[in-house]
Amino acid sequence: MKANELTTGPLFTKIAECKSKYIILQGGKWSSKTVNTLIHLGLLATKSKVTITVVGSTIPNLKKGALRDFQNHVAPKDGIKERIRSYNSSERTYHFYNGSIIEFTSYTTALEATSGKRDYAFFNEVNGISYEIFYNCAISTNKQVFMDYNPTAPFFVHSKFINSKPGDQYYGKYTRFITDHRHNPFLNKEKHDEIESISDPEKFRVYARGLTGKVEGLIFNFKQIDKIPEGLPFGFGIDFGYNHDKTAIVKVYFDKRNRYYEELYYKVGVDTNEIAEVLKANGCVTNSIVWGDHDKNASVYLRSKGIPFRMARKGPNSLTASISKVNEYNNFYYNSPNLENELSTYIWAQGVDLVTGNEISLNVPVDGMSDDLLASIRYFVYSHSLRTAYE
């Protein structure tokens, strides 16, 4: 093998042949998922004029990760280096003689991610990037979107892609490859042995086998039941879905310190006529309790159809306050598969204490996780608990 020859693993062929719009690269440590993706993108840039954006969670992470890998394993190799016209280090952008561009960047806000269009996007360590940033950048990508990560815990790729169902935005539009160090033929034996000797079972699962880790920091602990007690009073919670989100309706039964939930509706978009029909079919009458998301137009329409809709109580810290209120009760759910999925990925965001260096909870949910049904529950439980203070 020549020193400057491009070297690829078996994953490279899979990536190059994949025709899906979204390509998910889930893998353990040293599985070569990042390098193989960068080689593929580098070769694409030599074949025709394209714009490629490589996105990292932060610029420092990008410099230590994907950008360094490109500089070491792609840019200086035969077949690539002679096609590169220049590299702008301040803008972290490679310019090719044929007009192609490969830019390495990071977005701090979702608004920043709306700027520019591209042919290909690669989200490196996508589990460190918010869904809103991902969505805004991906929707402006014409051809393919790549994303890689170590699967330490479920995040939006699981809830939006892997657990998607027919009718969901990303259903049938992605391919997922799971790799680990055993798929990297260029890794030395010492490194293979080091990874195989990981003693912690959970870390071994994630880093040695590329499998999704155990969920830690779940926000809610609801129990599944086979039947809701008969004769209980009930109300309804609604979260309206726009663009890529779901409209969700939950029927909430209450009995002293117990709350029972049943999902009734889970669908992209807002069809107020259909919402009214679903509510009436499930026992909603003019004196029912219905709390929901803030939408004046939907509120006026539903009330005109005899639905006593009220906009949920919101204010400073209402998200964390409503989560705390829900957790004050004993919570149960029945016949609610989508709610079960949301519960399994709704976790507290983690940060690092700058003084101690320890990981700490930020007391806010991880951004981008599906929570439409959970929002409906929060709206109802929180607003219903405050009703006597306002009325």
**How far apart are the C-alpha atoms of 351 and 360, rounded to whole Å?**
5
Query: What integer pLDDT is reported at residue 391 of this predicted model?
Result: 41
Instruction: Provide the pLDDT for residue 187.
Output: 87
User: How long is the chain?
Assistant: 391
In angstroms, rounded to a whole number, what is the distance separating the alpha carbons of residues 283 and 251?
10
| Helices assigned H by DSSP within 82-229 | 131-138, 156, 189-196, 201-203
| Token pair recorded at residue 321 | 């306050």
The H or E element that residue 59 is part of is helix 59-64
Q: What homologous superfamily is domain 10-208 in, according to CATH?
A: P-loop containing nucleotide triphosphate hydrolases (3.40.50.300)
User: For residue 252, what are its two tokens?
Assistant: 């909430």
Q: How far is 139 from 311, CA to CA, in rounded Å?
A: 31
pLDDT at 55: 97
The pLDDT of residue 44: 98
Supply angle C-alpha 78, 84, 88, rounded to 5. Answer: 135
Residue spans per domain, the chain: 10-208, 223-390
Q: Do domains 10-208 and 223-390 have the same CATH topology?
A: no
pLDDT score at 289: 95
Looking at residue 389, its pLDDT comes to 44
Q: Determine the pLDDT at residue 367.
A: 79
CA gap 43, 40 in Å, rounded: 5
Architecture in CATH for domain 223-390: 2-Layer Sandwich (3.30)
Sequence-ordered list of residues with C-beta below 8 angstroms from that of 70, at least 6 positions apart, any chain: 38, 42, 54, 94, 102, 104
Closest CA to 154 of 205, 214, 100, 237: 214
The residues near 277 (Cβ < 8 Å, ≥ 6 apart) are none
391 residues of the chain, pLDDT tens digit each: 566 788 888 899 999 999 999 999 999 999 999 999 999 999 999 999 999 999 998 899 899 999 999 999 999 999 999 999 999 999 999 999 999 999 999 998 889 999 999 999 999 999 889 888 999 999 999 999 999 999 988 888 988 899 888 888 999 999 999 999 999 888 899 999 999 998 888 889 889 999 988 767 889 999 999 999 999 999 999 999 987 788 999 999 999 999 999 999 998 889 999 999 999 999 999 999 999 999 999 999 999 999 999 999 987 889 999 999 999 999 999 999 889 888 888 888 877 777 777 777 788 898 778 899 999 999 999 999 987 444 4
